[in-house]
């Protein structure tokens, strides 16, 4: 067994970090130190500092819910490795911008203090779609959620929006410099959404605090939209063992990722920022077309493969991509439904992008688990599918492939029982009718508040989803037989 990765062990092994850690100062607070941030934002920030010769974008990394990542990263001085897997993979690297790791639930007020610190100029977030605590129907801050309520009542804040809002309020009280808040979650208009949730939080506070927060955020905070793209699966024990063999040290916080990485950021900052463009980020005036293409192609296709693949016993996305029926379904979903309704960003060929996404799904070196991609469907599916379905329906067409994704998700909900990983798992299970007929199940799940009413209440959608639900319930070969008819 090797020793554990940390600054001293790395130096003893004759290796140096890319950044000079003694010179590093904290300029970024990151909320949600999952696998994705480590393989994407942290790498881009390190590269930006190296390219610009700057040392003031060190990261205070805040873990969100469980202490697991804190236990992995804190004993390693915030150091971790990123290993690329697949064609074109570059050598493993030790990534070094994380200066401090806070277990957010241990001392939430310490997180608020870091956000309010005058040295902090940027707050970034990867807290998953459900971490935003937006109401599924209204999209506003869900003030009926107990954790949101407690944050509003002044308890040590546990939700990302609560922490952020309390930190910004403290900045307002201290007249701290402006700050930019960069959401890096797969949500359309993620920056604007987050700004509106902070505004909702302010509106629900006692008047004096609420008005101060709202006025300061309006004047001194920016919430640019972003599109982030890199497939980063959950790290497995086999990944950790492979890294240990290569590094000669045990890295409990190691992450693996595909070689591809993209970050499109709205060029709207309040004050200083890292030179992320020097690390390959694209700074643009409008992120919306980039976000639309990515969510409706890559993420929606991922959901299709994951739900259908789970039903066919596939453990990885690459295994799904090898399955002729699933590859055919995702291909036709893109060609017949998604691409015709998309306005790609200028200079992007959406068909070529879709083709590249299909190749990326097939990366066998990555072991991206179907179960992980399938988590939290109630939060992920609406933004991935609704904008594709609406134009098809408006033209009198049938969004049959989107309906297939919904039916596959519903089968997943119906068969998962207590294992369902979804913030709405309880209400979804409760909505399932006794006896579970296709139409009853589909109607109940469509009505559970997951899909917007214009789609959930559309008889064409109900019939299409119910049809696929019957097909998927009919056992082996039924999907293939149905697809041959279409
Ligand atoms: N992994 C990818 O391939 C990928 C790619 C692009 C974008 N993203 C975005 O990044 C997010 C995180 O992905 P990941 O791979 O790091 O996942 P992960 O499971 O490794 O980490 C999830 C992080 O979110 C936090 N979190 C989860 N639920 C929360 C809640 N209710 N409140 C507060 N914090 C919460 C966790 O504490 C953890 O830090 C995704 O949901 C997605 O929006 C991921
Ligand atoms: O990260 P999630 O949970 O929003 O979605 C699962 C995958 O679709 C997603 O992580 C993709 O791998 C990623 O968005 C690629 O950039």
| Domain boundaries, position 462 | 288-485
Residue 216 lies in a domain: yes
Q: Are residues 270 and 300 in the same domain?
A: no
Q: Are residues 21 and 36 in the same domain?
A: yes
Q: Are residues 295 and 213 in the same domain?
A: no
Q: Tell me the average pLDDT across 35-39.
A: 98
CATH number at residue 19: 3.40.50.720
- At 435, is the pLDDT very low, low, confident or very high (cuts 50, 70, 90)? confident
Residue 105 lies in a domain: yes
Q: Are residues 332 and 423 in the same domain?
A: yes
Query: Which distant-in-sequence residues (6+ apart) come within 8 Å of 244 by Cβ?
Result: 2, 250, 251
- At 448, is the pLDDT very low, low, confident or very high (cuts 50, 70, 90)? confident
Strands (E), 68-151: 80-84, 93-95, 98-103, 122-125
Residue 463 confidence (pLDDT): 97
CB distance 406 to 381 below 8 Å: yes
Nearest CA to 295 out of 402, 383, 361 is that of: 383
Ligand 2 centroid distance, CA of 116 (Å): 30
As given in the structure block, the two tokens for residue 317 are 């996305």
Domain boundary (254, 284, 314) is at 284
359 pLDDT exceeds 90? yes
Q: Is the CB of 228 under 6 A from ligand 1?
A: yes
- Quickly count: other Cβ atoms within 10 Å of residue 352's Cβ: 10
Residue 476 confidence (pLDDT): 86
Q: Are residues 280 and 294 in the same domain?
A: no
- At 65, is the pLDDT very low, low, confident or very high (cuts 50, 70, 90)? confident
- Closest Cα to atom 2 of ligand 2: 373
Question: Exposure string (b/e) for 63-80, b if CB count within 10 Å is 16 or more?
Answer: bbeeeebbebbbebbbbb
Q: How many domains does the chain have?
A: 2
How far apart, in whole angstroms, are the C-alpha atoms of residue 426 and residue 404? 23
Q: Are residues 348 and 215 in the same domain?
A: no
Residue to mutate, 34, 64, 108, ligand 1, most ligand atoms under 8 Å from C-beta: 34
Q: Is the CB of 195 under 6 A from ligand 2?
A: no
- Quickly count: other Cβ atoms within 10 Å of residue 207's Cβ: 8
Q: Are residues 44 and 133 in the same domain?
A: yes
Q: Is the CB of 317 under 6 A from ligand 2?
A: no
CATH number at residue 431: 1.10.1040.10
CB distance 251 to 76 below 8 Å: yes
Q: Are residues 347 and 271 in the same domain?
A: no
Ligand 1 centroid distance, CA of 32 (Å): 7
Residue 232 lies in a domain: yes
Q: Which ligand is nearest to the CA of 233?
A: 1
Residue 398 lies in a domain: yes
Q: Are residues 274 and 412 in the same domain?
A: no
Q: Are residues 301 and 261 in the same domain?
A: no
Report yes or no on whether pTM surpasses 0.90: yes
- Burial of 440: CB neighbours in 10 Å, binned 0-12, 13-18, 19+: middle
Residue 314 lies in a domain: yes
Q: Are residues 274 and 298 in the same domain?
A: no
Residue 61 lies in a domain: yes
Residue 2 lies in a domain: no
Q: Tell me the average pLDDT across 166-182.
A: 98
Q: How many helices and strands, by DSSP H and E, does the chain display?
A: 23, 12
Domain boundary (265, 284, 303) is at 284
Domain boundary (250, 284, 318) is at 284
Residue to mutate, 126, 129, 281, 367, ligand 1, most ligand atoms under 8 Å from C-beta: 126
Q: Are residues 126 and 199 in the same domain?
A: yes
Q: Tell me the average pLDDT across 5-34.
A: 96
Q: Measured from the CA of 186, which atom of ligand 2 is nearest?
A: 4
């Amino acid at each position: 067994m090797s020793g554990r990765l940390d600054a001293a062990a790395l130096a003893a092994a004759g290796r140096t970090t890319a950044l000079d850690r003694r010179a590093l100062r904290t300029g970024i607070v990151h909320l949600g130190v999952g696998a994705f941030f480590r393989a994407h934002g942290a790498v881009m920030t390190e590269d930006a500092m190296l390219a610009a010769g700057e040392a003031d974008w060190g990261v205070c990394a805040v873990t969100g819910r469980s202490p697991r990542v804190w236990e992995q990263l804190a004993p390693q001085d915030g150091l971790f490795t990123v290993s690329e897997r697949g064609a074109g993979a570059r050598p493993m690297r030790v990534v070094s911008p994380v200066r401090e790791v806070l277990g957010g639930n241990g001392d939430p007020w310490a997180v608020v203090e870091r956000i309010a610190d005058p040295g902090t100029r940027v707050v970034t977030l990867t807290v998953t779609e459900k971490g935003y605590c937006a109401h599924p129907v209204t999209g506003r801050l869900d003030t009926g959620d107990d954790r949101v309520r407690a944050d509003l009542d002044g308890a040590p804040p546990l939700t990302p929006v609560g922490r952020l809002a309390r930190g910004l309020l403290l900045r307002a009280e201290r007249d701290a410099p402006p700050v930019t808040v960069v959401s890096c979650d797969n949500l359309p208009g993620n920056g604007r959404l987050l700004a509106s949730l902070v505004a909702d939080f302010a509106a629900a506070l006692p008047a004096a605090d609420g008005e101060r927060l709202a006025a300061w955020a309006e004047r001194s905070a920016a919430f640019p939209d972003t599109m982030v793209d890199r497939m980063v699966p959950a790290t497995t024990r086999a990944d950790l063992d492979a890294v240990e063999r290569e590094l000669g040290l045990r890295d409990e916080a190691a992450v693996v990722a595909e070689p591809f990485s993209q970050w499109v950021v709205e060029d709207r900052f309040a004050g200083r920022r890292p030179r992320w463009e020097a690390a390959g980020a694209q700074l643009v005036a409008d992120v919306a077309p980039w976000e639309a293409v990515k969510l409706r192609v890559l993420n929606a296709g991922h959901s299709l493969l994951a739900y259908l693949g789970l039903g066919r016993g596939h453990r990885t996305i690459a295994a799904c991509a090898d399955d002729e029926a699933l590859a055919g379904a995702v291909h036709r979903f893109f060609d017949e439904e998604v691409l015709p309704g998309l306005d790609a960003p200028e200079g992007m060929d959406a068909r070529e992008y879709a083709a590249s996404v299909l190749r990326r799904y097939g990366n066998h070196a990555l072991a991206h688990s179907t179960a992980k991609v399938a988590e939290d469907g109630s939060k992920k599916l609406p933004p991935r599918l609704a904008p594709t379905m609406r134009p098809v329906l408006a033209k009198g067409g049938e969004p049959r492939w989107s309906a297939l994704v919904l039916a596959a998700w519903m089968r997943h909900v119906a068969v998962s029982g207590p294992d369902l990983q979804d913030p709405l798992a309880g209400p979804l299970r409760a909505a399932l009718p006794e006896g579970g007929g296709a139409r009853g199940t589909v109607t109940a799940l469509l009505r559970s508040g997951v899909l917007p009413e214009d789609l959930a209440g559309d008889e064409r959608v109900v019939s299409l989803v119910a049809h696929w639900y019957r097909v998927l319930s009919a056992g082996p070969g039924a999907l293939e037989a149905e697809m041959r008819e279409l």
